[in-house]
Amino acid sequence: EDQVTQSPEALRLQEGESSSLNCSYTVSGLRGLFWYRQDPGKGPEFLFTLYSAGEEKEKERLKATLTKKESFLHITAPKPEDSATYLCAVQSSNYQLIWGAGTKLIIKP
Amino acid sequence: DGGITQSPKYLFRKEGQNVTLSCEQNLNHDAMYWYRQDPGQGLRLIYYSQIVNDFQKGDIAEGYSVSREKKESFPLTVTSAQKNPTAFYLCASSAGFQGIPFFGPGTRLTVL
């Protein structure tokens, strides 16, 4: 069965304290992996797409990486405005998206 | 500006009522989707449409209905048959079914 698991469920960091969020998956034929940011009460905002193992993408303080079993979203020197829920989704061979439950990130000043 | 709009932002439903959520996009996207979001769970697909006048059931279609009469519009009706409709509803669109979905701002539905 196709499955996406995100960990941890919640992560509290001090401003400037770097860390990583994990998205592990089992899927039949990976087409792509997507990362989104979601602020409370709003729709998800697209961040990155990764298509093959070894690929990396960066945007400001965020860097996404992909292996054959998981993806990491690295956050370097985060600021309070990086606080949000980060969602991961995997696109399977039939183009269906399977979503993880998200990681709630809280950055304290 | 191109984007996806959803209305209303908040919606309250009484028992036995049908309600319709609006979704409009001006991105010229062929594919449109409706998702439901509940706390602690991943997004769940209700319905999707790859082209005008065609749509398919997703994983949790029972108690919901949709139409796709125009490329820009994909309204969702939550019927009285949906027993637990309180949730955050998200509309999305993509250039094709294999494309990256972009989301609207969402509608929060509450049953009174």
Each residue of A71-85: pLDDT tens digit? 999 999 999 999 999
Whether the pLDDT of residue A106 is over 70: the answer is yes
pLDDT for the residue numbered B103: 98
**Pairwise CB contact (< 8 Å): A95 & B98:** yes
Average pLDDT, chain B: 95
**Tell me: the pLDDT tens digits for B55-104?**
999 999 999 999 999 999 999 999 998 989 999 999 999 998 889 999 99
pLDDT for the residue numbered A54: 96
Using CB atoms within 10 Å of the CB of residue B58, give its burial: 0 to 12 exposed, 13 to 18 middle, 19+ buried. Answer: middle
**Tell me: the pLDDT tens digits for A28-79?**
889 999 999 999 999 999 999 999 999 999 999 999 999 999 999 999 999 9
Q: Which residues of B touch A101 (CB under 8 A)?
A: 40-42
- DSSP-based three-state secondary structure for A14: strand
Whether the pLDDT of residue B2 is over 80: the answer is no
What's the whole-number mean pLDDT along residues B1-27? 93
What number of other Cβ atoms are within 10 A of residue B41's Cβ?
Answer: 13
**Pairwise CB contact (< 8 Å): B42 & A98:** yes
Rounded to the nearest 10°, the torsion over CA A36, A47, B64, A2 is: -60
Chain A CA closest to residue B10: A41
What's the whole-number mean pLDDT along residues A10-38? 96
**Pairwise CB contact (< 8 Å): A102 & B42:** yes
pLDDT band at residue B16, thresholds of 50, 70 and 90? Answer: confident
> Which residue from B90, B97, B98 is facing A43, i.e. has the nearest CB?
B90
pLDDT band at residue B1, thresholds of 50, 70 and 90? Answer: low
> Which residue from B100, B102, B104 is facing A49, i.e. has the nearest CB?
B100
% of chain B residues with pLDDT over 90: 82
Of B30, B14, B37, which is closest to residue B90 (Cα–Cα)?
B37
Tokens 């009469």 appear where? B69
Q: Which residues of B touch A43 (CB under 8 A)?
A: 4, 6, 90, 92, 103-106
CB A93 within 8 A of CB A26: no
State the smallest CA–CA distance between residue B103 and chain A in angstroms.
6
**Pairwise CB contact (< 8 Å): B98 & A101:** no
CB B20 within 8 A of CB B10: no
